[in-house]
Chains A and B, each alone.
Chain A
């Protein structure tokens, strides 16, 4: 008996966001990245159009990050030089974008000035041709100053900047509006706050196609299923024409996966877990591959070996299964 394929019909699509700008568009990027646009649940090519593949933005920090050696060793001597590091990510590991974290701005750390931070962004923009995602140091007041300076210095580059949160979205949204960038809207694993934040940002006048949802996630083994169900609701909302949930989603994969004990503990400590080298790669890879199954459009990743595996997985999933 032939199997009849059950196909859902959806009223709407996920919104599309374009990141970066070429010289003709007022920027200096050699290519732009388009995310979102899907008319179906992820990778159901037989049901609707899967418009754009998921992309990987590799994480670069402006000073040497407190990461474990499994990752650090792969990068060699570039970790104290964000320009060389970003170049390596693009040229050697084929990163689609660079995710630049300005952690040196932290008031209880190096406390770098907004102007110095903006200069680093300009330097990285000068070194690579891919679009940039830029966030601060997670100190709300400092970040508001830093991101305003960054947005101005990189006007025209159509960056994706963060973070807008429910209690602190106005300053960064204003910076994005004035200097024509896109905003990451972060909500704490909460679909209702996610929607509300998008409403608040759009009420300020930033168009919906300049917003990317960061739903916050848990890494593998640390609540990833909870993130999955929130993202699933957002995606189903988008397909049911809920405009305030229709934005593409970005996930902090590298950060969450590498916070797990399993990505850091040595085999001597837990012999049954096997070698840390392989385990750390798999932890980040599986966190990423689970989330692209529920519609993550931008994966923020760290481990080059994991990036390679996820690139392959995305390419496989983009092959038609109609």
Chain B
């Protein structure tokens, strides 16, 4: 949590949030992730999300990604979103699936769904995939279009859980075979480098590896220029966009 955003939330000062929103937009972000964090008490969260959605939409045209475990707060924010938003996130637990999937359909939002349940994050790709299968089935059941489902196979910090990194890559590859059209994939990228001294290098190396394995989207710092360069270059090398000498610049203009 950036301290200035926390202060802004507590004092209802829109400045810091609006400044960060514009900064990330200039960096080339496609969505803005909105999260109150622990700065706001649980019972005040719905109101806080309404406020954040409102003030960010005052300065940015980008669609929003509403990030909370408090689904009432997310729903309060969704009601005010001018463009189809994204919900971040829901784990593969039945009661929560039943709460969140219909909400995504109702508000025409995309949904980030996690390959975990109450017991936590699986160690291997097989069990991650079992959860992914449940999430795909839920999309079918509740009528969420597959291209609006973003499955997050959950990467853990490499300094404490190194064995997860290749398992996540394998999961990314396999998720694409679960349905046709395939669901999409997403990672909260910076988690891979938590508390490592070489955070930026780890982030961008893993981003390239993950994109080659089928990663469609990442929640990441769009102001890390080297990282955005890697995303743009990987897109070219995967032949997903047509090369031009100025591709780095054009990637940021989208």
Contact = CB atoms under 8 A, between A and B. Distances in A.
Interface of A: 191-193, 195-196, 199-200, 203, 233, 237, 241-245
A178 to B, nearest CB: 24
A192 B246 CA distance: 10
A237 B247 CA distance: 14
B249 A195 contact: no
Interface stretch (B48-56, B164-172, B237-245): B237-245
Interface of A: prevailing SS: helix
Nearest to B147: A9
15 contacts: A191-B242, A192-B242, A192-B243, A192-B245, A195-B243, A195-B244, A196-B244, A196-B246, A199-B249, A233-B242, A237-B241, A243-B253, A244-B244, A244-B250, A245-B242
Contact of B250 (A191, A199, A233): A199
Question: Which residue, B241, B242, B250, has most C-beta atoms of chain A within 10 A?
Answer: B242
A317 to B, nearest CB: 27
B246 A199 contact: yes
Contacts of B246: 196, 199-200, 203
Given A199-B249, A199-B250, A242 B241 contact: yes
Given A192-B242, A193-B244, A244-B250, 19 more contacts: A191-B242, A192-B243, A192-B244, A195-B242, A195-B243, A195-B244, A196-B244, A196-B245, A196-B246, A199-B246, A199-B250, A203-B246, A233-B242, A237-B241, A237-B242, A241-B254, A242-B241, A244-B244, A245-B242
Contacts of A242: 241-242
Contacts of A200: 246
B217 to A, nearest CB: 15
A138 to B, nearest CB: 25
Contacts of B253: 243
Contacts of A196: 244-246
B162 to A, nearest CB: 37
Contacts of B254: 241, 243
A173 B25 CA distance: 29
Contacts of A244: 244, 250
A269 B254 CA distance: 56
7 nearest CB pairs, A to B? A195-B244, A196-B244, A199-B246, A196-B245, A192-B243, A237-B242, A195-B242
A321 to B, nearest CB: 25
A233 B241 CA distance: 10
A113 B249 CA distance: 40
Question: Which residue, A200, A203, A244, has most C-beta atoms of chain B within 10 A?
Answer: A244
A273 B246 CA distance: 48
Nearest to A9: B147
Interface in B13-69: none
A193 B245 CA distance: 8
B83 to A, nearest CB: 15
Nearest to A244: B250
A233 B253 CA distance: 21
